[in-house]
Amino acid sequence: MAHQKQPTNYGALSTLVIVFFFWGFIAAGNGIFIPFCKHYFHLDQFQSQLIDFAFYGAYYVGALALFVASAVKNKDIMNHWGMKTGIIYGLLTSAAGALFMLLSFNFGGFAGILVSLFIIGLGFSLQQTSANPFAIALGDPSTGSHRLNLTGGVNSFGTTIGPIIVALALFGKATADQTDIANASITSMNTLYIVVGVLFLLSAILFRMSKKLPNVKEEDSFEPAPKAMWLLIAITVVMTIVFGIIFASYRGLAANEKLSHDVSLRNMWLLVAGLLVMIIGFFGANAGAQKNSSGWGAMKYPQLILGMLAIFMYVGVEVTIQSNLGELLKHPDFGGYSENDLAPFISMYWGSLMIGRWTGAITVFNPTKSMRTILFIIVPYIAFGVVIAANLVAGNNFTPLYAYAGVVLIQIAGFFLGKEKPAETLMIFGGLGVAAMLIGLFTTGQTAIYAFLSGGLFCSIMWPSIFSLAIAGLGKYTAQGSAFLVMMILGGAIIPPLQGKLADLPAIGIHHSYIIPVICFAYLAFYAFRVKSVLKSQGIDYSSIEGGGH
pLDDT at residue number 184: 59
pLDDT at residue number 48: 78
pLDDT at residue number 40: 75
pLDDT at residue number 1: 44
The chain-wide mean pLDDT, for the chain, equals 82
Cα 379 from Cα 239, distance rounded (Å): 42
SS3 call for 328: helix
Cα 44 from Cα 72, distance rounded (Å): 41
Distances (CA, A) of 513 to 341, 506, 519, 527: 22, 11, 11, 23
pLDDT at residue number 550: 43
pLDDT at residue number 442: 95
378 Cβ partners below 8 Å, 6+ apart?
Answer: none
**String of DSSP letters for 10-57:** HHHHHHHHHHHHHHHHHHHHHHHHHHHHHHHTT--HHHHTHHHHHHHH
Question: Which amino acid belongs to residue 42?
Answer: H
pLDDT over 70, % of the chain = 85
Cα 205 from Cα 208, distance rounded (Å): 5
Instruction: Give the confidence band of 238 by pLDDT, cuts at 50, 70, 90.
Output: very high
Q: How many CA atoms lie within 13 A of 186 on its CB side?
A: 12
At 385-422, the pLDDT tens digits run 998 998 888 788 889 999 999 999 999 998 888 877 78
pLDDT at residue number 360: 76
Of the given ranges (81-95, 253-267, 506-520), which has the lowest mean pLDDT? 253-267
Contact 276, 61 (CB under 8 A): no
pLDDT at residue number 150: 72
pLDDT at residue number 453: 95
CB atoms within 10 A of CB 423: 23
Over residues 155-166, mean pLDDT: 73
Contact 517, 454 (CB under 8 A): no
Cα 83 from Cα 76, distance rounded (Å): 12
Element (H, E) at 175: none
* H helix intervals, 478-514: 478-487, 491-504, 509-512
Cα 200 from Cα 192, distance rounded (Å): 13
441 Cβ partners below 8 Å, 6+ apart?
Answer: 448, 511, 512, 514, 515, 518
CB atoms within 10 A of CB 141: 10
Cα 279 from Cα 368, distance rounded (Å): 44
For residues 241 and 108, the model is more confident at 241
Whether the predicted pLDDT of 16 surpasses 50: yes
Of the given ranges (284-293, 304-313, 437-446, 536-545), which has the lowest mean pLDDT? 536-545
Whether the predicted pLDDT of 441 surpasses 60: yes
**String of DSSP letters for 129-167:** HHHHHHHHHTS-GGGHHHHHHHHHHHHHHHHHHHHHHHH
Question: Which amino acid belongs to residue 128?
Answer: Q
Cα 47 from Cα 53, distance rounded (Å): 10
At 193-215, the pLDDT tens digits run 888 888 888 888 888 887 766 66
Distances (CA, A) of 58 to 55, 65, 115, 125: 6, 10, 10, 7
Whether the predicted pLDDT of 93 surpasses 80: yes
